[in-house]
């Protein structure tokens, strides 16, 4: 049983690393795109400014996602992925699907953890 879980986590770690790699490429590309801030003197509604703001917002979202993925990978590497950090019980798989980087089981979360 333990082996099965470990193998599943290996596959999960590979998937996360691949996603993280893609994310980092997107982040690098977006960073280059937002480096040149358009001139606001051209007035509101300039499509290049809207585009820049969208890129900025997207960059923020991608960076947050990358941080979350890194956290999940660290936990898998420590062998604690899917295990509640408070009570040490396995976290429900459905809960992990919805909240992949949660560190608490549903009981501990309800009793006011995070």
- Site stretch for Zn ion (CB under 5 A), options 6-14, 25-33, 58-66, 97-105: 97-105
Q: Quick check: 86 binds Zn ion (CB under 5 A)?
A: yes
How many residues touch Zn ion under the rule CB under 5 A: the total is 5
Nearer to Zn ion, 45 or 112 (CB): 112
Residues 15, 21, 22, 28, Cα dihedral to 10°:
160
Q: Is 59 exposed, middle or buried (0-12, 13-18, 19+ CB in 10 A)?
A: middle
Q: Which of residues 5-44 bind Zn ion (CB under 5 A)?
A: none
- Site stretch for Zn ion (CB under 5 A), options 8-16, 37-45, 73-81, 106-114: 106-114
Between CA 113 and CA 99 the distance in angstroms is 15
Between CA 69 and CA 105 the distance in angstroms is 19
Q: Which residues make up the interface to Zn ion (CB under 5 A)?
A: 84, 86-87, 105, 108
């Amino acid at each position: 049983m333990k082996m099965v879980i470990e193998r599943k986590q290996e596959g999960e770690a590979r998937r996360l690393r691949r996603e993280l790699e893609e994310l980092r490429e997107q982040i690098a590309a977006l960073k280059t795109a937002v480096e040149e801030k358009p001139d606001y003197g051209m007035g509101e509604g300039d499509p290049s400014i809207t585009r820049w703001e969208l890129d900025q917002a997207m960059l923020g979202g991608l960076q947050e996602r990358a941080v979350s993925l890194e956290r999940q990978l660290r936990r898998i590497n420590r062998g604690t992925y899917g295990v509640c950090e408070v009570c040490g019980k396995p976290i429900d798989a459905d809960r992990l699907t919805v909240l992949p980087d949660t560190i608490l089981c549903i009981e501990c979360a309800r009793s006011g953890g995070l």
